[in-house]
Amino acid sequence: MIASLARAATPVALALASFLTVSSLVRRAVPWPDPLLLRPKMEAFEREKDDVDVVLIGSSRTFRGIAPDVLDERLAARGHPLRSWNLAVGGMRRHEAAGLLRRVLERAPPRLRVVLIEWGPWEATFDAPRNVWTDRSAAWHDATGTRLAIAGALELDLPISERLGIASRHAALFLHRLSAYGRGGDVLRAWTGRDRPANPTHRRVVDDLIRRRGYRSQRVVSGATHAPRFAAELDRWREEVADIDAVHRLDVAESPAAAAAREAQFAAVRAAGAEPIVFTGPGAEATPGAFSLERAGRLPTFFPLNSPNLHPALYLAEHHFERLHLNDDGAAAASRILADLLADHLERSAPPRERR
């Protein structure tokens, strides 16, 4: 009986092993997903990773708000000649950002010294139904990301049926990524170059993105559609800004799953020989969770840029084209401020013989 079962199971096991082997090979060749220019940004980073000292990870606030060339110029002027890359992407939430960072660390940039991580809540939910079953969602669902997301889903303050539904979607995305189902065509198109947009405007945007090391300049992609709305809502924006620092004084508890995800991210950065630093991007939204963790001593280093009291220059209307996003002049100001904060930190933490 046992021998018969073994004979019956052998072809199934061989087929499964063959499928997983082929899937693994295809998965390694799958191109980066291309929402908001992630693919050209990451391909350029991989070409230059051996010369990168500082990586920035986050959402559009960092994507549009921190210019590596300005950051590096200020750092060099302070005696810290470092080279940075902005790997932030619009709409990127913390679980996705952590997944992207894991793939960056897998490439072992030899000079990587600092990872600047934009603060955001570890939300296990999806921001919109249309964004669930996408290549971008599947891309970060490796074993670590899926485990942490499922843990977060199960502790949500929702009925158990909804929590299980969210957890099952994360599990399905893990299997989709693991199997590389339906990705063979993407691989072939990438190999033959037939997936590259020929639109000259897109090419101009990509060239500027690579030249600016991941920063998306407003001068290349105009904020014209947002600027009139921002002007019309300026009084409301100023009211929101006036409340930010008061909200930061509130205490916000961190869930066990969020704490585990945060610590896993910091541990991965440290294992790569780099230092994790949390920062907040300027905007009209407060982040009391980050300030609560900082007061509790649970953040390694914290650079709050979303404090009008600390950084009033980042809350001048002329530095914004939208309530949460800086224009190029604002990004230059934020980049210089962040450079000074980083330079001060490096000088404080350097051994005495290395201090100036």
In the predicted structure, residue 267 carries a pLDDT above the cut 90: yes
Q: Domain for residue 280, yes or no?
A: yes
Q: Domain for residue 321, yes or no?
A: yes
Q: Domain for residue 138, yes or no?
A: no
Domain that holds residue 37: 17-122+181-354
In the predicted structure, residue 39 carries a pLDDT above the cut 90: no
Q: Quick one: pLDDT at residue 207?
A: 86
Instruction: Assign 136 a pLDDT band (cuts: 50, 70, 90).
Output: confident
Q: Domain for residue 212, yes or no?
A: yes
Q: Domain for residue 151, yes or no?
A: no
Residues 108-133, mean pLDDT to the nearest whole number: 90
- The CATH number that applies at residue 53 is 3.40.50.1110
| Number of domains comprising the chain | 1
Residues 225-232, mean pLDDT to the nearest whole number: 79
Query: What is the value of pTM for the model shown?
Result: 0.86
In the predicted structure, residue 329 carries a pLDDT above the cut 60: yes
Q: Quick one: pLDDT at residue 283?
A: 87
Q: Domain for residue 167, yes or no?
A: no
Q: Domain for residue 140, yes or no?
A: no
SS (H, E, C) the chain: CHHHHHHHHHHHHHHHHHHHHHHHHHHHHCCCCCHHHHHHHHHHHHHHHHHCCEEEECCHHHHCCCCHHHHHHHHHHCCCCCCEEECCCCCCCHHHHHHHHHHHHHCCCCCCCEEEEECCCCCCCCCCHHHCCCHHHHHCCCHHHHHHHHHHHHCCCCCHHHHHHHHHHHHHHHHHHHHCCCCHHHHHHHHHCCCCCCCHHHHHHHHHHHHCCCCCCCCCCCCCCCHHHHHHCHHHHHHHHHHHHHHCCCCCCCCHHHHHHHHHHHHHHHHCCCEEEEEECCCCCCCHHHHHHHHCCCCCCEEECCCCCCCHHHHCHHHEEECCEECHHHHHHHHHHHHHHHHHHHHHHCCHHHCC
Q: Domain for residue 161, yes or no?
A: no
Q: pLDDT per residue over 56-69, tens digit each? A: 999 999 999 999 99
